[in-house]
């Protein structure tokens, strides 16, 4: 179920290719007064630990990056709308500079796929003669692009095209469509002509529909796996995206102007930045290594320093979260970045006095960097999230034994960096174990004593694009309905127990809540207040307060589901999710994003789809 890899040596774009496509588009932008709206879909039912509060106080890096790319390519008439802030936004009513935008884009995680489809369906309510070209993207599109096309005639409304890649794929798509667009022609009309001429087939990283009736496509065409930009310094500067933000509000329409500069820091005090991509580990529950084509990509320290400085100078932003998969993945590259950040100086002021940054690492790599942790703090780092998962390595082995994790945490605290563990609960782990470290509470206590400042506990849940997905569904562990309530996408966040082979899955739900209660409670708040003497020791008290507030919301949401798990009948899936619409690759080849088993060579997409539907319907 992992994404396939491109041929060796063909995983990356040629150096400078992303820069060149932006330069070409700047020339075309003079001829095309292109306007666009980018919406970030968000399901407010997902607001609970461990991300509550941060989920509305940090602008997502994905939509901001797309906005930056469009602005850098000369398309300044762009607005970014966050459903976190604008939950009543309706695409059918949007007007930008007095007119319906030429392009409507929506980005979504799988958790937020239901609001995403609602936005797409609402955009289809616009008069077809004036409807914008609808483009879908984001993590959900990368792994399950077929989900963004409706197979239900009763609820039609699909994306016109899905981008399964990064900024370059979108810009490449726009360049192809603009090359065929006539004067005064709509982007949708030009797209249709490009599609029928098969001009899109040369753009890896797209899925588009063909044919059909009653709003349901006949088939989906997959142009393959994207090529990745290798040098992240080629990415457009993030400062451009911040200029395009829709102000928060309760209205269904767009504001006349983007958010004022002075409001950005107030609404989003934390800035998400891309620093590195990729991880050398190959955990079966994680789709990240396959997405990155087993590549490790980085920005230079000079570029990162410039981004932090300019965002601080223009917007007053001081706190930066690195959207990394494993920042310590490559020791030499990491040291080059942190050394540059530690020495960086602008206008006679050290950057480390203006910027504080945070990111994700592993226990194994933290120990490899142990002697360099003081330099890392000197560069401005104040907290690191560590994927501990399971101290006994029963779940996964990443060099995170109890002793090694304790050593890493204490080294971080000694250097003045807060360790923030991320744990995964699983079926075989009890709440407490006598005489061992196997129990969840046992492990939380070890981490607390080692200096953990926050705690994240999530249930192991199969993720789209991971190796575990197929086997977890095939073994019947994934729930379909519980007590008559269907498992919805927003519930697949690791907080709800929606996949388990345990005889009493309600206990797994309560075990996670007990773990949070054990870590976030008034007793440890008092202890943290008594102990705080330094800036580092103040963090536990602050996070105890936020944790307890978030825990109240989490308990209210989780309690009802725990009761269903205890008393309701559980119906289980027997097959993983597949496309409800036939998929094929270019020239009839197998579709790269089709989650179905490898098809028989020479079998048409329609025949393959019919066979698959019969197999799934069989008892």
Per-residue pLDDT tens over the stretch 209-266? 999 888 899 999 999 999 999 999 999 999 999 999 999 999 999 999 999 999 999 9
Q: Residue 323 and residue 272: Cα distance in Å, rounded?
A: 6
Shared domain for 469 and 594, answered yes or no, is no
- Judging by beta carbons within 10 Å of its beta carbon (0-12, 13-18, 19+), is residue 442 exposed, middle or buried? buried
Q: Is 70 exceeded by the pLDDT of residue 1? A: yes
Shared domain for 395 and 531, answered yes or no, is yes
- Domain-embedded: residue 36: no
DSSP assignment of 216-248: B-SEEEE--PPPBPSBGGGSPPGGGGGGGBPPP
Distances (CA, A) of 202 to 56, 173, 285, 448, 586: 38, 10, 32, 53, 9
User: How far from each other are the two terminal CA atoms of the chain, in whole angstroms?
Assistant: 23
pTM of the model: 0.94
Shared domain for 150 and 265, answered yes or no, is no
Identify the band that residue 614 occupies on the pLDDT scale cut at 50, 70 and 90.
Answer: very low
Distances (CA, A) of 231 to 63, 204, 299, 589: 20, 19, 7, 31
pLDDT at 395: 76
Residue 145: closest CA among 587, 610, 464: 464
- Domain-embedded: residue 488: yes
Q: Based on DSSP, count helices (H) and strands (E) in the chain, helices before strands.
A: 19, 22
3-class state of residue 257 by DSSP: coil
- Residue 312: give its domain's CATH number: 3.80.30.20
- Domain-embedded: residue 299: yes
- Domain-embedded: residue 399: yes
3-class state of residue 279 by DSSP: coil
- Domain-embedded: residue 145: yes
DSSP state of 105: E
- Judging by beta carbons within 10 Å of its beta carbon (0-12, 13-18, 19+), is residue 364 exposed, middle or buried? buried
Q: Which two tokens stand for residue 572?
A: 């289980």
Q: Residue 263 and residue 480: Cα distance in Å, rounded?
A: 43
Q: Residue 518 and residue 574: Cα distance in Å, rounded?
A: 36
pLDDT at 562: 97
Structurally, the chain folds into a number of domains equal to 3
Shared domain for 601 and 501, answered yes or no, is no
pLDDT at 536: 57
Percent of the chain with pLDDT over 70: 95
Shared domain for 143 and 287, answered yes or no, is no
Residue 132: closest CA among 74, 72, 174, 87: 174
Identify the band that residue 602 occupies on the pLDDT scale cut at 50, 70 and 90.
Answer: very low
Find the mean pLDDT for residues 107-113.
97
- Domain-embedded: residue 236: no
Identify the band that residue 400 occupies on the pLDDT scale cut at 50, 70 and 90.
Answer: confident
Identify the band that residue 530 occupies on the pLDDT scale cut at 50, 70 and 90.
Answer: confident
Chain-wide mean pLDDT for the chain? 93
Q: Residue 221 and residue 227: Cα distance in Å, rounded?
A: 18
Q: Residue 280 and residue 260: Cα distance in Å, rounded?
A: 41
pLDDT at 212: 87
Q: Directed axis angle between helix 17-29 and helix 167-180, to 10°? A: 40
Q: Residue 285 and residue 2: Cα distance in Å, rounded?
A: 10
Strands 381-389 and 345-346, sheet pairing: unpaired
The answer for residues whose C-beta is within 8 angstroms of residue 565's C-beta and 6 or more apart is: 482, 483, 497, 505, 506, 509
Q: Is 70 exceeded by the pLDDT of residue 532? A: no
Q: Is 70 exceeded by the pLDDT of residue 568? A: yes
Shared domain for 199 and 291, answered yes or no, is no
The last residue of one of the domains, among 207, 222, 237, is 222
162-197: per-residue pLDDT in tens? Answer: 999 999 999 999 999 999 999 999 999 999 999 999
Shared domain for 215 and 281, answered yes or no, is no
- Backbone phi, then psi, for 350, in 5-degree steps? -65, 135
Q: Residue 341 and residue 397: Cα distance in Å, rounded?
A: 32
CA dihedral 232, 233, 239, 243 (to 10 degrees): -70
Find the mean pLDDT for residues 102-127.
97
Domain that holds residue 516: 260-567
Q: Is 60 exceeded by the pLDDT of residue 553? A: yes
CB neighbourhood size of 356 (10 A)? 16
Shared domain for 540 and 596, answered yes or no, is no
Identify the band that residue 537 occupies on the pLDDT scale cut at 50, 70 and 90.
Answer: low
Identify the band that residue 597 occupies on the pLDDT scale cut at 50, 70 and 90.
Answer: low
- Domain-embedded: residue 18: no
pLDDT at 511: 97
Shared domain for 354 and 450, answered yes or no, is yes
pLDDT at 197: 96
3-class state of residue 133 by DSSP: strand
Shared domain for 544 and 610, answered yes or no, is no
The answer to whether the peptide bond before residue 250 is cis (omega within 30 degrees of 0) is: no
Q: Which two tokens stand for residue 44?
A: 């407010």
DSSP state of 16: T
Q: Is 60 exceeded by the pLDDT of residue 606? A: no
Q: Residue 124 and residue 137: Cα distance in Å, rounded?
A: 17
pLDDT at 396: 79
pLDDT at 203: 98
Q: Which residue has tokens 């930008």? A: 96
The answer for residues whose C-beta is within 8 angstroms of residue 493's C-beta and 6 or more apart is: 46, 111, 458, 461
pLDDT at 354: 94
DSSP state of 36: E
Find the mean pLDDT for residues 270-289.
94
The answer for residues whose C-beta is within 8 angstroms of residue 610's C-beta and 6 or more apart is: none
Find the mean pLDDT for residues 32-59.
95
DSSP state of 497: -
446-473: per-residue pLDDT in tens? Answer: 999 999 999 999 999 999 999 999 999 9
**CA geometry: angle at 60 spanning 11 and 99, to 5°?**
100
DSSP state of 96: B
Shared domain for 561 and 603, answered yes or no, is no
Find the mean pLDDT for residues 321-349.
96
Q: Which two tokens stand for residue 27?
A: 């020339």
Shared domain for 217 and 319, answered yes or no, is no
In angstroms, how far apart are the furthest CA atoms of the chain? Answer: 76
Give me the count of residues in the chain.
619
Q: Which helix (H) or strand (E) holds 276?
A: strand 276-277
- Domain-embedded: residue 575: no
Stretch among 5-9, 305-309, 605-609 having the lowest mean pLDDT: 605-609
Identify the band that residue 494 occupies on the pLDDT scale cut at 50, 70 and 90.
Answer: very high
Q: Residue 238 and residue 72: Cα distance in Å, rounded?
A: 10
């Amino acid at each position: 179920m992992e994404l396939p890899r491109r041929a060796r040596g063909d995983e990356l774009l040629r150096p400078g290719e992303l820069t060149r496509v932006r330069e070409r588009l700047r020339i075309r932008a003079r001829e095309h007064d292109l306007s666009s709206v980018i919406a970030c879909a968000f399901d407010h039912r997902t607001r609970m630990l461990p991300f509550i509060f941060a989920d509305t106080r940090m602008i997502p890096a994905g939509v901001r990056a797309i906005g930056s790319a469009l602005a850098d390519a000369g398309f300044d008439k762009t607005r970014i709308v966050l459903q976190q802030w604008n939950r009543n936004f309706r695409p059918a009513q949007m007007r930008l500079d007095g007119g319906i935008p030429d392009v409507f884009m929506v980005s979504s995680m799988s958790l937020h796929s239901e609001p995403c489809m609602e936005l797409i369906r609402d955009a289809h309510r616009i008069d077809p003669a004036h409807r914008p070209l609808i483009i879908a993207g984001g993590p959900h599109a990368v792994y399950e692009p077929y989900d963004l096309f409706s197979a239900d005639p009763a609820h039609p409304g699909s994306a016109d095209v899905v981008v399964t890649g990064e900024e370059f794929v979108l810009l490449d798509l726009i360049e192809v469509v603009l090359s065929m667009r006539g004067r005064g022609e709509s982007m949708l009309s030009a797209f249709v002509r490009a599609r029928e001429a098969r001009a899109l087939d040369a753009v890896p990283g797209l899925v588009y529909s063909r044919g059909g009736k009653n709003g349901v496509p006949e088939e989906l065409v997959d142009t393959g796996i994207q090529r990745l930009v290798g040098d992240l310094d080629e990415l457009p500067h993030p400062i451009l995206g911040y200029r395009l933000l829709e102000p928060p509000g309760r209205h269904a329409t767009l504001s006349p102007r983007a958010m004022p500069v002075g409001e950005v820091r107030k609404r989003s005090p934390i800035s998400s930045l891309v620093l590195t991509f990729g991880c050398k580990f190959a955990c079966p529950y994680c789709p990240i290594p396959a997405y990155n084509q087993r590549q490790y990509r980085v920005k230079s320290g000079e570029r990162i320093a410039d981004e932090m400085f300019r965002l601080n100078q223009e917007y007053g932003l001081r706190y930066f979260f690195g959207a990394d998969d494993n920042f310590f993945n490559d020791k030499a590259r990491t040291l080059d970045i942190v050394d540059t950040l530690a020495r960086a100086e602008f206008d006679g002021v050290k950057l480390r006095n203006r910027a504080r940054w945070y990111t994700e690492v592993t226990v194994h790599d933290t120990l490899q960097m142990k002697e360099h942790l003081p330099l890392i703090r000197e560069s401005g780092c104040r907290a690191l999230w560590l994927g501990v998962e399971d101290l006994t390595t029963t779940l996964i082995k990443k060099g995170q034994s109890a002793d090694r994790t304790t050593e890493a945490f204490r080294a971080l605290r000694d250097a003045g960096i807060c360790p923030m563990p991320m744990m995964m609960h699983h079926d075989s782990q009890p709440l407490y174990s006598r005489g061992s470290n196997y129990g969840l509470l046992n492990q939380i206590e070890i981490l607390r004593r080692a200096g953990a400042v926050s705690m994240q506990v999530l249930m192991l849940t199969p993720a789209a694009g991971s190796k575990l997905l197929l086997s977890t569904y095939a073994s019947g562990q994934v729930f379909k309905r519980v007590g008559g309530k269907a498992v919805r996408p927003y519930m697949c966040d690791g907080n709800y127990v929606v996949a388990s082979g345990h005889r009493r899955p309600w206990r797994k739900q309560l075990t996670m809540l007990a773990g949070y209660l054990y870590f976030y409670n008034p007793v440890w708040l008092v202890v943290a207040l008594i102990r705080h003497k330094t800036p580092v020791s103040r963090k536990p008290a602050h996070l105890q307060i936020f944790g307890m507030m978030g825990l109240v919301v989490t308990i209210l949401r989780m309690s009802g589901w725990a009761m269903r798990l205890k008393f309701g009948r559980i119906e289980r899936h027997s097959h993983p999710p597949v496309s409800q619409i036939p998929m094929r690759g270019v020239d009839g080849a197998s579709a790269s994003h089709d989650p179905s088993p490898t098809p028989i060579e020479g079998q048409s997409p329609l025949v393959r789809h019919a066979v698959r539907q019969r197999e799934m319907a069989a008892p």
